[in-house]
Chains A and B, each alone.
Chain A
Amino acid sequence: MTLLYSEVEEELRAAVRGLLADRCPPAAVLKRIESDPYDLDLWKTLAGEIGVAGLLIPEELGGAGASASEVAVVLEELGRAVAPVPFFTSSVLATQALLPTGDALLGELAEGRTTAALAVSFAASPYRPLRGSSVRIEDGRLSGTVTGVAGADVADVLLVPVDGDLYTAEGAAVELVPSLDLTRPVATVTFERARARRVGACDLAAVLRSGAALLASEQLGVAEWCLESTLAYVKERHQFARPVGSFQAIKHRLADLWLDVVRARAAARNAVADPSPLSVAVAQSWNAAVAVHAAEEALQLHGGIGMTWEHPVHLYLKRAKAAEIALGTPGDHREALSSLAGVPGPE
């Protein structure tokens, strides 16, 4: 077990970063967000040319049979770019729900021809997996609603967990709602006696937990971008005849932020090297907060320009704040640590 990156992972990172630099600079993301946030052409290239969609899927099912630590590196890069692609929702969450079933759908997901979403609220957690869902099954038909579903609007297939089983459904109504995170909007999904096919068993809490483990890497990527762009800005921006970054009040804040990011990197690597409930809870309670803090510091240290729609820092702030809630808030994960780490509360 190691907390370092392997050479293979660094090569994968370079490929993803190169593509994103070309095709997904912050200016391009800014341009799309109000009309049609997802960049499905970019998604096709990522899935088809770099093969990211099938990373978690075994080779015999048409995937790359890679490990969570490679997926984590992709997520770091997608986080750095706030890339509007359904990688996390389709290739991580939905794929992990499908994997134990061995369903043929996995082959389609691996190629990136089909995109799936798990009809679970993004605000659910391993501790409360059904938050926001009222879906039930009767005579093979699904009824009810799920709020706050990420990736549903661009999904070809919806995977619906009900009572320990996973279903695909036909004819669900997907209604996009105005979302805090512009680059990963959420939708309300409604089923009215929708025809369903049972795919297999589903341990939803486990799926959400492995999702949370990997989300920590995306949060690390968000934090890294915020720190790096802020460093670049305060070196350039002059006030009082000096670069703003030469003032000690600013230097010390950035040194502290750097230390938080260093520790977020260790926590993210640990969550993929050892995805135990304890490691995941540690990574989520730390990294979620570090990403938000990094984005808030970035906004503040950019001054007025940081507050504008034109500057991409708000994309990162919105992503970070939404991801802080996603799959358990830091407080939810800390509460879980009470028993996981043996720190019981008042009696």
Chain B
Amino acid sequence: MGLAFDEMKGTDGVVRAPYSELAGWLGDVKPDVLDYRRREAELLFRRIGITFAVYGEADSTERLIPFDVIPRILGAKEWDLLRRGLEQRVRAINEYLRDVYGRREVLRAGIVPDDLVFQNPVFRPEMNGQKVPHNIYVHIAGIDIVRVDPETFYVLEDNARTPSGVSYMLENREIMMRLFPELFARHRVAPVENYPDELLATLKSVAPDSASGDPTVVLLTPGVYNSAYYEHSFLADKLGVELVEGRDLFVKSGFVYMRTTQGPKRVDVIYRRVDDDFLDPLSFRADSALGVAGLMSAYQAGNVTLANAVGTGIADDKAIYSYMPDIVKFYLGEEPILKNVPTWRCREPDHLTYVLEHLEELVVKEVHGSGGYGMLIGPAADKAQVASFRSKLKLNPKGFIAQPTLALSTCPTCVDAGIAPRHVDLRPFVLTGRDKIRIVPGGLTRVALKAGSLVVNSSQGGGTKDTWVLDR
């Protein structure tokens, strides 16, 4: 792994243009000021209660995600490239989903192997031939982006089910503006706080045709024990919609209603943060207490919009990921603007052979894994870990993909020893409505707080930063 590209200092130590103001400021600022702001920020997060739950940790059921006070900055041109690339990618994902649950041209053309779709546990046969309102499947996408040099951004992962993290994007900005007003005065940072407006506009635009002029939107949460509950309540609040649990909803004569103090009220659009499996005990897992009995029948009757649609998991699977550039070309006839990380599909024998021979250099991921769990980071692993992955791979090659260990870009970060470069990624959020695609400039930057670590997941000790898009 070569020397990582630093977003502030490039590879040659010369401060890059978007960072010129910040670098100057960092040079002048006294360390205790930064440290003081850091503690203030933590206090604010704790008081507002911006926490997430970590499963399996009995004592600290509510934890803070560490917040780094040094922003990550993107110039206007960099952002423009990303924005166009994201739009293109998400348009293709929606086309792909409509096709797979419809005419299946992509399979007939041999672009994507059949079994990747049909044997995928997240494929929903219930959605075959099912028309979804306005043909939009992924209304909210979180696309994980990494960067390796000034020009190259890779998509690391498409999140097309219930991507989370947007509350951190918004709260990080809020807290930065409170703590560092002088920095905002010296930069022109594109605003992100209109995200809830854009999200509401998106959700309302996809209401079923039978909905009234002002459709009723709700946010469906699994409840307070869910790790992202804070985000759910935060968003419902900002959107000004009801935060409902399954028990607040019921289905009658093909329509969905919520129980209110004034009696039943019809619901038109459900921004659901509950996984497919738990949505409707009559259609999916019968033991689910989180869902709404009969919801799928109302959905299939076209009387309610689910955002995201049911069955979108077949688009964000790690096995499908490697086909995404072909999928973009197939549907849009355009070259993909955002590249994929080169990926070996272990299901293909020659790829598998290569992967087995180069395990120590590669990152191996479970096709259905998430959250940074169940992966091997070759260069950081010991012999026993490599050996155990070798046997896992041989046993179930289809279950894995492998990628080169990328020299992810770094960004200056406050750590105990002072300011040091740490690896970052970026999750921008792409909203697809009936009228248009909306992306607020920025996203959630996650940062690996341990020196040298590439794992940015919050469940594994990663932190977050505010992401600034400048107007120049």
Q: Do A and B bind each other?
A: no
Q: Please report A residues at the B interface, Cβ cutoff 8 Å.
A: none
Q: Please report B residues at the A interface, Cβ cutoff 8 Å.
A: none
